[in-house]
């Protein structure tokens, strides 16, 4: 019978150790017993950027990067995008099961009735410069919510946690839309409880003096984009959420940290960068020269919206978005940058550089084109990512708090700096 264990021989000492294997992993702490002598600290693993380290056990989201599979709580993303709503998906991520009809009604009612924000938030936003990036405003206002709800600190109390989860999912579209209105110099538009989650967000964004009737096609497209972005297991921003949350910070502060992580151009800022890249390329004729630049830049110039740490195949979310683009463009008119994007994808997928490195379009390659056609300015793209991802962050945050294996996150290091030395007073330093 094969044993679920690993035998390690330390060639420094000739000693052998047996380490159990569970769920395809060994516990890094089990390596600590591998020592050259009693004084030795013991062996550690070195894994910058956590490319091969599981930081938690999770039951929320499953990804098979080689096969291009993404499931939330076991449900394939394609089925959720085809048949689900964003709020059902958020409920599923948080509770493990799709809501019954009664639960869905209650959940939708509760979210709808928490969409207002304290009036002081408007004053906070007014303090930002006229051209402040909305992601900076979103991050700050989400962090500020912790000061309005000090009871949120009680993260060990499930009922308190659940109230903050409702508030965050409900208020984040309001904060996002308010940030946009500040950027545009428009009066803030209040939530409308008669509308669904996405329609309400669209009206808070785009309503002018005579009200706003969102196109059902655009409302559904936003719903699908929100479903696709709701969770993606242990990515950079989710790890930030779990990392900050592990110190038992309140969920508003932890979510603000996750938004900060999402802001980076290698993560949620990528769809913004895709649009800027397509604009810079400017025409189909310029694509070969751009691809040459990417290939010869030694990794400095990247084809934004391509490549993924986990997917080494076509990102299943990108497939869904690409299909949906046609429906959206029927309503909004075709985004002229789409032709450049399609040609760029075609050329890249045939190019040995991208094939060899398994670089395929990720979720961000086409999402920005749709957002732009819907009327969202480029600065809003990462904000549009943060709204639905809040549900995933909160599901992962709560799972972390309930996980008996978890403690405050505190990685080790390999110290390679100076050995102990004596302080030299300034006058003696030359």
Alpha-carbon distance of 291 to 302, in angstroms, equals 9
Positions in the binding site for ligand ACO (CB under 6 A): 266-267, 270, 294, 299, 302-309, 357, 359, 362-364
Instruction: Provide, rounded to whole angstroms, the least separation between the CB of residue 400 and ligand ACO.
Output: 20
CB 252 within 8 A of CB 387: no
Catalytic residue among 267, 351, 379, 403: 267
Instruction: Provide, rounded to whole angstroms, the least separation between the CB of residue 4 and ligand ACO.
Output: 29
DSSP strand pairing (61-64 vs 69-72): antiparallel
Measure Cα distances from 323 to 11, 320, 326 in Å.
55, 5, 6
**Residue with Cβ nearer ligand ACO (305 or 388):** 305
Give the phi and the psi of residue 323 in degrees, each rounded to 5: -65, -40
**Residue with Cβ nearer ligand ACO (7 or 51):** 51
**Residue with Cβ nearer ligand ACO (180 or 385):** 385
User: Is 10 known to be catalytic?
Assistant: no
Alpha-carbon distance of 126 to 119, in angstroms, equals 11
- Residue 84 is encoded by which pair of tokens? 């689900």
Instruction: Provide, rounded to whole angstroms, the least separation between the CB of residue 52 and ligand ACO.
Output: 12
What is the DSSP-derived secondary structure letter of residue 152?
A: G
Closest-approach residue to ligand ACO (CB): 307
User: Is 364 known to be catalytic?
Assistant: yes
Instruction: Provide, rounded to whole angstroms, the least separation between the CB of residue 37 and ligand ACO.
Output: 37
CB 273 within 8 A of CB 281: no
**Residue with Cβ nearer ligand ACO (251 or 361):** 361
**Residue with Cβ nearer ligand ACO (77 or 111):** 77
- Residue 126 is encoded by which pair of tokens? 């007014």
Alpha-carbon distance of 62 to 233, in angstroms, equals 7
Measure Cα distances from 310 to 67, 95, 117, 236, 305 in Å.
10, 25, 37, 12, 14
User: Is 232 known to be catalytic?
Assistant: no
Instruction: Provide, rounded to whole angstroms, the least separation between the CB of residue 292 and ligand ACO.
Output: 12
Name the residues annotated as catalytic. Answer: 267, 308, 364
């Amino acid at each position: 019978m094969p044993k679920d264990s690993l035998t390690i021989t330390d060639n420094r000492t000739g000693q052998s150790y047996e380490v159990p294997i569970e769920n395809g992993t060994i516990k890094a702490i089990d390596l600590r017993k591998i020592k050259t002598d009693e004084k030795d600290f013991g062996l550690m693993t070195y894994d910058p950027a956590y490319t091969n380290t599981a930081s938690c056990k999770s039951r929320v989201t499953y990804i098979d990067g080689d096969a291009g599979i993404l499931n939330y709580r076991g449900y394939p993303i394609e089925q959720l995008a085809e048949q689900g709503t964003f709020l059902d998906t958020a409920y599923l991520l948080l509770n493990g099961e799709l809501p019954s009809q009664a639960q869905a009604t209650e959940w939708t009612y509760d979210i709808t009735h928490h969409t207002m924000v304290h009036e002081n938030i408007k004053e906070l936003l007014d303090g930002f410069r006229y051209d402040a990036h909305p992601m900076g405003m979103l991050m700050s206002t989400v962090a500020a919510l912790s000061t309005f709800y000090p009871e949120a600190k009680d993260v060990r109390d499930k009922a308190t946690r659940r109230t903050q989860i409702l508030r965050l999912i409900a208020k984040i579209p309001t904060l996002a839309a308010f940030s946009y209105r500040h950027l545009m110099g428009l009066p803030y538009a209040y939530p409308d409880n008669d509308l669904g989650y996405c329609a309400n967000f669209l009206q808070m964004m785009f309503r002018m003096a005579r009200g706003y009737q969102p196109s059902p096609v655009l409302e559904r497209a936003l719903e699908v984009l929100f479903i696709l972005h709701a969770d993606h297991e242990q990515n950079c921003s989710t790890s930030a959420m779990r990392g900050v949350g592990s110190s038992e910070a309140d969920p508003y502060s932890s979510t603000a940290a996750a938004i900060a992580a999402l802001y980076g151009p290698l993560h949620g800022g990528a769809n913004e960068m895709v649009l800027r890249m397509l604009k810079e390329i400017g025409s189909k004729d310029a694509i070969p020269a751009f691809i040459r630049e990417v290939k010869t830049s030694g990794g400095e110039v990247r084809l934004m919206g391509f490549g993924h740490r986990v997917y080494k195949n076509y990102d299943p979310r990108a497939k869904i978005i690409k299909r949906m683009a046609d429906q959206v463009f029927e309503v909004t008119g075709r985004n002229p940058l789409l032709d450049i994007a399609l040609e760029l994808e075609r050329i890249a997928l045939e190019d040995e550089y991208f094939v060899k490195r398994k670089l395929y379009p990720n979720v961000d390659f086409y999402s920005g084109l749709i957002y732009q056609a819907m009327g969202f300015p480029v600065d809003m793209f990462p904000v549009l990512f943060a709204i639905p991802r809040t549900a995933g962050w909160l599901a992962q945050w709560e799972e972390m708090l309930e996980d008996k294996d978890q403690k405050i996150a505190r990685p080790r290091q390999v110290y390679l700096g100076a050995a102990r030395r004596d302080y030299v007073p300034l006058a003696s330093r030359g």
